[in-house]
Chain A
Amino acid sequence: MNMLTALWAESLKVRRSRIIWISLMAATLLPILFGLVMAGLISSKPALEGQEANMQAYLNQLGVAVSVGGIIGFGFLYSWIFGREYSDRTVKDLLALPVPRFQVVLSKMFVAALWCAALAAWLFAVGCATGWLVSLDGWSGGVIADSLPRYAETTIMVICLSLPIGWIASAGRGYMAALGFVVLMVIAANLGGAIGIESYMPWAVPGLLNGAAGEDKMNLEAVSLALPYVTGAVGIAGTIAWWRYADQT
């Protein structure tokens, strides 16, 4: 009962926020823009160089968009959902309620995950519709169905990689530290690529899986594939421990 109520409370805050519309707008415009570029309706030849302009390539691009843009976008949502409690000073009330703190943390993480998953699903759906509208070569239900499992896996990975953001936002008592962490991880993932250890950097794994570093690096070892999930588990445990044991000054 408490958990359901905590979920209701978190979802109400999200539903009433402006950020839901901003994120929805981003998840709508991004695939449309990519689709128009892919179809050549917007001149962006350098971006398409070396790529085939068909539905399969377009869906791959959407996967890369979620794996790279999602780390920033989903990270921002997680930093907002946790950081706002500190910025608006509402955390004091949450701590003085007869609701276990782990339930508050889990409900926040669940609502944020649901939100991210819905955005990713919406982005994919808009992408499919855009591909059809701009008549991309190879548009078919089969191509879409084939792309879906990897796209879903990427989304789940990126959501897992966003879970530690809740911890950083709580420990940093606001958005800023969390947003800084997101940027740092994106930079670290790129630096990892430069020195050849990208497959062992959790934040680089979704991008690699979608061919962001080339097709030759798409086949990842099990250890690499497990890294985002391990990171997510550490994120959940760290956030709960922080809320449970740290001084809330």
Chain B
Amino acid sequence: MDAMIRTAGLTKRFGRSTAVDEVSLSVGPGEIYGFLGLNGAGKTTTIRMLLGMIKPSAGASYLFGEKVNAARRDLWSKVGCLVEMPSLYPELTVYENLEVVRRLRRLNGTHWIEEAMEKLRLTPYRNRKARHLSLGNGQRLGLAKAMLHKPAVLVLDEPTNGLDPAGIVEVRQLLSELAAREGVTIFISSHLLGEVAKLATRIGIVHQGRLVQESDARELHGHLRKRLLVQVQSQNTEAAQAVLHSRGYAPLLAAADEGGTLATEHADAVANPERIARLLVEADVPPKLLRVEEEDLEAYFLRTIGMDGGMAQ
């Protein structure tokens, strides 16, 4: 299957600083690729290179197998984008903002606008000037502009910024449908792994300009750490620790503020907490509480980029 989006050793240097460092990735038709990174990780610079707005210092990016450069205008008729904040003409109405895009994209008929407004629930605001839109509706209008021409590839930079929870769910459903029903390939950047994980089929984590990990979204949960928390009477902590240690469960004190709580990441203990309970009861240090805890996605993300401060509670 040919890649719809591909980068090969994509690098951008600004003076001595390297914003994007040899990023190579590939996104197939109908995939939703979540491009994850902290602010300043190089997401937007990568996207701008993908869209031909910035020339790479080294490497190249390809859309539909064609090398991207500013002169290849034909590529943009099949690509929709939303880069950073939505870009709107504040003095124009919602309809006029879309009309400008429709005409410049040479789309015949106003049904393109009606459909986009309908999809993004902007119809009630059609005659409202963009300057009077809420942040969320402004974001919807930005998305409507990106999707107006039914592109084969959508490149979205933080598309749920400013949306309320209902709006986030709505946009997530819309993008999922676009990928599933219409085969649209979506490249979406975010700094929220939890959000992207609900949508993306594949996830790439970028940090300090480098692509540090790529994984299938379905396999993501396999990467999350699990641990068993065992709480005993605080005077029994040392005894319980000795019992578990003698059986090879290598318990650790979970945290200073969790007196009497031991934690282990031992796979057998996590899979069979009842065994631990029985062991402690037999040793006369019965547990008050046993709980299997899974690392959350944000903690996993921070651990991947080397910024973890321990497992999130």
Q: A5-B106, A9-B100 are in contact. Are A93 and B92 (CB under 8 A)?
A: no
Does A248 make an interface contact (CB < 8 A)? yes
Does B87 make an interface contact (CB < 8 A)? yes
Candidates A88, A96, A244; contact of B89 at CB < 8 Å: A88
Q: Is the CB of B81 within 8 A of A92?
A: yes
Instruction: Count residues on chain A whose CB falls below 8 Å from chain B CBs.
Output: 29
Candidates B53, B87, B96; contact of A89 at CB < 8 Å: B87
Q: A6-B104, A247-B54 are in contact. Are A96 and B88 (CB under 8 A)?
A: no
A108-B249 Cα distance, complex, nearest whole Å: 71
Does B101 make an interface contact (CB < 8 A)? yes
Does B48 make an interface contact (CB < 8 A)? yes
Q: Is the CB of A99 within 8 A of B48?
A: no
Bitwise interface map of A from 1 to 17 toward B, beta carbon under 8 Å scored 1, else 0:
11001101100110011
Q: A96-B51, A99-B73 are in contact. Are A18 and B91 (CB under 8 A)?
A: yes
Q: Is the CB of A96 within 8 A of B53?
A: yes
Q: Is the CB of A2 within 8 A of B106?
A: yes
List chain A residues, Cβ under 8 A from B294: none
A244-B73 Cα distance, complex, nearest whole Å: 12
Candidates B71, B77, B91; contact of A16 at CB < 8 Å: B91
Does B298 make an interface contact (CB < 8 A)? no
Does B145 make an interface contact (CB < 8 A)? yes
Q: Is the CB of B85 within 8 A of A89?
A: yes
Q: Is the CB of B55 within 8 A of A247?
A: yes
A236-B100 Cα distance, complex, nearest whole Å: 24
List chain B residues, Cβ under 8 A from A192: none
Does B90 make an interface contact (CB < 8 A)? yes
Candidates B70, B84, B105; contact of A101 at CB < 8 Å: B70
Q: Is the CB of A249 within 8 A of B87?
A: no
Q: Is the CB of A88 within 8 A of B88?
A: yes
Q: Is the CB of B51 within 8 A of A12?
A: no
Q: A92-B81, A248-B48 are in contact. Are A99 and B88 (CB under 8 A)?
A: no
Bitwise interface map of A from 61 to 99 toward B, beta carbon under 8 Å scored 1, else 0:
000000000000000000000000000111111011111
Does B178 make an interface contact (CB < 8 A)? no
A13-B70 Cα distance, complex, nearest whole Å: 25
Q: Is the CB of A96 within 8 A of B79?
A: yes
Interface residues of B in 33-84 (CB under 8 A from A): 45, 48, 51-55, 70-71, 73-77, 79, 81, 83-84
Does A138 make an interface contact (CB < 8 A)? no
A13-B96 Cα distance, complex, nearest whole Å: 10
Q: Is the CB of B53 within 8 A of A92?
A: yes
A89-B77 Cα distance, complex, nearest whole Å: 20
Does B103 make an interface contact (CB < 8 A)? yes
Q: A13-B92, A89-B87 are in contact. List 10 more A-B contacts (CB 8 A).
A: A12-B100, A92-B53, A96-B81, A97-B101, A244-B71, A245-B70, A247-B55, A248-B53, A249-B45, A249-B53
Q: Which residues of A contact B (CB under 8 A)?
A: 1-2, 5-6, 8-9, 12-13, 16-18, 88-93, 95-101, 244-245, 247-249
Q: Which residues of B contact A (CB under 8 A)?
A: 45, 48, 51-55, 70-71, 73-77, 79, 81, 83-85, 87-92, 96, 100-101, 103-106, 145
Q: List 6 A-B contacts (CB under 8 A).
A: A6-B104, A88-B90, A92-B81, A95-B70, A99-B104, A249-B45
In order of increasing CB-CB distance, the 10 nearest A-B pairs are A248-B53, A90-B87, A98-B77, A16-B91, A89-B87, A98-B76, A247-B54, A92-B83, A98-B73, A5-B103
